[in-house]
Amino acid sequence: MMILSDFNQAFTNLRAQKTRTLLTTLGIVFGVGSVIAMMAIGSGAREQSLRFIEQLGVRNILIDSVPATSSQELQQRRQSSPGLTRRDARVLQTNIDAIEIMSVRKTMRPAALLPKPAQDPPEMYGVDAGYSVIHSFAFAEGGFFDDWANQTSAAVAVLGESAKVGLLGYEPAVGRFIKVDGTWLEVIGVLEEQLAENPRREGGATPDVNNVIYIPINTFEYRFYDPGAGLKDELVGIELRLDEGADSVEVAKVVTAVLDSTHRGTADFTVTIPAALLAQQQRTQTIFTYVMVAIAAISLLVGGIGIMNIVLATVLERTREIGVRRSVGARRLDIARQFVSESVLISAGGGLLGIAFGFLLAWLIARTAEWTTIVTTASVLLAFGVSVTVGVLFGVYPALKASRIDPIDALRYE
């Protein structure tokens, strides 16, 4: 009952100074809102990074050839290295027991497509049937081709989401045909939309993983001619999926050593380890979140200083009131509790408004900057808890100062 009475009296005192109370509360509102928004940005970035890595596969090792920039550079490389070849794939398969699935990859940009694409023409990938399992593809329609389709060089294709829309529109695509460089291909599957960004780089450009036509590697080799093959290695990439429990970092060291041996130390390939990318990305995002929250927390500190300033001013204005209360029997604890209650009300009210402001700020950032933001329960509780703590800590000094005023001097104060 005593606590309720303190808060009721504190609310009455604060309501009597509406404008000053509101201005004091704004510091807490902006501080709490900023903390929630910054943590939402960090959580969103972390979630998106995890999706990137999952899309690459945490049990995968991705080997990419490094394209030569000129025929002279290619000739210099060929003096020591044959480039990324099927022989490399066979050597890796033979010497590394931890490999569960392997797929080679070739790519080309078709010269002619029917129907004509409504946007940038898709790239064509020739891959093995295991490519779908390695990258955990999800399908909107149909499915991926199997080993039999690869062995028979079947004229089939699987479309990425953007390639399907660009070529065949929004109608169902399975069972329909597309013509690529004079060869008709039956569409047997359509992938769900994947994350457009991709940590891997090929020739300095990031491919649109949704704007791709996937066909069996044997179909690619026996039915199509790539006019740009002269400046490429035999293979553009080799994808490996490891057995469960295998140490991808250690296996990647073996893969690199094997390829260094067959390529005679020529730096014409890269080895990407998604699991290592995941660990690095998590460390980076954690540091980023801490820095952003620390910057946002400065607003809470400023808000706390504002609370202390306004309560100190209130103590001076109500010195005579304090003297009257002390003279009729109020203890020092009663006086201190009264002013701490006012500080807590300001900080708690500002914290609640700040939560709403934080949600609004996170939504605005997501809409305007097109960033992924995720407001978590932990961030809301942390920001609100810190705001209340700030109110208590910065309200204690003015409350103690008020409780120590001599009642005789207070009654004479004008």
**Integer Cα distance of 304 and 347 in angstroms:** 8
pLDDT value at residue 201: 42
Residue 63's nearest CA partner among 278, 281, 274 is 274
Domain ranges of the chain: 2-52+280-412, 67-267
Express each pLDDT in 299-324 by its tens digit: 677 777 877 777 777 777 767 777 77
- The region of weakest confidence among 93-102, 135-144, 301-310, 338-347 is 301-310
Q: How many helices (H) and strands (E) does the chain have?
A: 14, 11
Surface-to-core class of residue 352, CB atoms within 10 Å of its CB (0-12 exposed, 13-18 middle, 19+ buried): middle
Q: What percent of the chain has pLDDT over 90?
A: 33
Q: Are 224 and 181 in contact (CB under 8 A)?
A: yes
Confidence of residue 202 (pLDDT cuts 50, 70, 90): very low
Confidence of residue 221 (pLDDT cuts 50, 70, 90): very high
Q: Are 31 and 387 in contact (CB under 8 A)?
A: yes
Confidence of residue 282 (pLDDT cuts 50, 70, 90): low
Express each pLDDT in 354-378 by its tens digit: 899 999 988 998 888 777 888 888 8
**Integer Cα distance of 363 and 221 in angstroms:** 49
Q: Is the pLDDT of residue 295 over 90?
A: no
pTM of the model: 0.63
**Integer Cα distance of 350 and 345 in angstroms:** 8
308 vs 260, higher pLDDT: 260
Token couple for 340: 């701490």
What does the pLDDT average to over 217-225? 94
Q: Are 135 and 214 in contact (CB under 8 A)?
A: no
**Integer Cα distance of 77 and 408 in angstroms:** 95
Q: Is the pLDDT of residue 173 over 70?
A: yes
pLDDT value at residue 57: 66
195 vs 26, higher pLDDT: 26
**Integer Cα distance of 261 and 81 in angstroms:** 10
Q: Is the pLDDT of residue 199 over 60?
A: no
330 vs 278, higher pLDDT: 330
Scored b (16 or more CB within 10 A) or e, 354-371 reads bbebbbebbeebbeeeee
Express each pLDDT in 136-168 by its tens digit: 899 999 999 999 999 999 999 999 999 999 999
Express each pLDDT in 33-84 by its tens digit: 888 888 888 788 777 766 666 666 678 889 999 888 888 888 888 888 988 9
Q: Are 9 and 338 in contact (CB under 8 A)?
A: yes
- For the chain, give the mean pLDDT: 83
What does the pLDDT average to over 272-289? 69
Express each pLDDT in 323-335 by its tens digit: 777 777 777 777 7
Q: Beta strand pairing status for 156-159 and 212-216?
A: antiparallel
**Integer Cα distance of 269 and 342 in angstroms:** 66
Tell me the range of 14-28, 73-87, 194-208 where mean pLDDT is highest.
73-87
pLDDT value at residue 203: 41
Confidence of residue 337 (pLDDT cuts 50, 70, 90): confident
- The region of weakest confidence among 13-17, 132-136, 211-215 is 13-17
Confidence of residue 389 (pLDDT cuts 50, 70, 90): confident
